[in-house]
Amino acid sequence: MRAIPMPNDPATAASLAVPRPRPVGREGFRAFRPIATRWMDNDIYGHVNNVVYYSWFDTAVNGLLVDRGALDIHHGAVIGLVVETQCHYFAPLAFPQQVDAGVRVAHIGSSSVRYEIGLFAQDEAMSAARGHFVHVYVDRATRRPVPLPPALHSVLQGLT
C-alpha cells in the first residue's frame, strides 16, 4: 500500500512550496496611469485599505482602454467581466501619496485577457503591490462570451 503524503510532512511541504511573491520594477510594464490617493482610502491602521487596491486595478486598466478607444463603457456592445483577481502587498501606500499604476497584458485568449498591474508609490522603482485580474469579454445584453473586438485586440497587443 502506498503512503499518502501529509501536509505537515516537511518533504511534502517542500514539494508543494510556491516561490514567495516579490515586488517588481517599473520596467516590466507597458503603460502607466497616475492615481491620486484620497483621504477616505486610508483605514484605521493609517494606510490604504486592501480593497482600494482592487479598485485601482479596475481604474488603471479600464481607463487605459477607454483613453485608447478600445472600450465604450456606456454604449459598447462588448464589456469585460472580472472572473479572477489576486493581489500581493509589499509596502504600505497612504494618503496623500500619488500612486502610479503600471499595466501589462500577460495573456490574450479568444474572449479573455489576463492583466497584470503594479502599484508604485510616486518615484519608487519597485512595486508596493502587484496583482492581476482576468476579464472575460461578453455581449452586454446576453452576458455570453464573445471574441475580442479588433480595436480592443490591437490595444491589448500594445500592452504585451
Domains along the chain with CATH numbers: 25-158 (3.10.129.10)
Other C-beta atoms within 10 Å of 26: how many? 14
Spatial CA neighbour of 61 closest among 95, 92, 98, 35: 35
What pLDDT sits at residue 5? Answer: 54
Please, what is the Cα angle at 132 between 33 and 86, to 5 degrees? 125
Q: Are 117 and 60 a contacting pair, CB within 8 Å?
A: yes
Question: How distant, in Å, are the alpha carbons of 13, 22, 31, 39, 67 from that of 63?
Answer: 41, 26, 11, 22, 6
What are the pLDDT digits (tens) for 24-66?
999 999 999 999 999 999 999 999 999 999 999 999 999 999 9
Confidence (pTM): 0.87
Percent share of the chain, pLDDT over 70: 90
* Other residues' Cβ atoms within 10 Å of the Cβ of residue 58: 16
Q: Bridge-partner residues for 74, per DSSP?
A: none
Written as one letter, the residue type at 60 is A
The C-alpha angle 146, 78, 66, rounded to 5 degrees, equals 135
CA–CA distance from 145 to each of 78, 121, 160 (Å)?
9, 36, 22
Better-predicted residue by pLDDT, 4 or 16: 16
Query: Among all chains, which residue has been given the C-alpha cell 479588433?
Result: 150
Query: What pLDDT was estimated at residue 56?
Result: 98
**Do 78 and 149 form a contact (C-beta atoms < 8 A)?**
yes
4 pLDDT higher than 60: no
Collapsing DSSP to helix, strand or coil, 94 comes out as: coil
User: Cβ contacts of residue 6 below 8 Å, gap of 6+?
Assistant: 12
The band of 1, judged by pLDDT with boundaries at 50, 70 and 90, is low
Residue 11 has pLDDT above 70, yes or no: no
What is the model's pLDDT at position 15?
A: 61
117-156: per-residue pLDDT in tens? 999 999 999 999 999 999 999 999 999 999 999 999 999 9
31 touches 64 (CB < 8 A): yes
Query: pLDDT digits over 64-113, tens only?
Result: 999 999 999 999 999 999 999 999 999 999 999 999 999 999 999 999 99
The pLDDT assigned to 17 comes to 75
Residue 18: its pLDDT value, please? Answer: 80
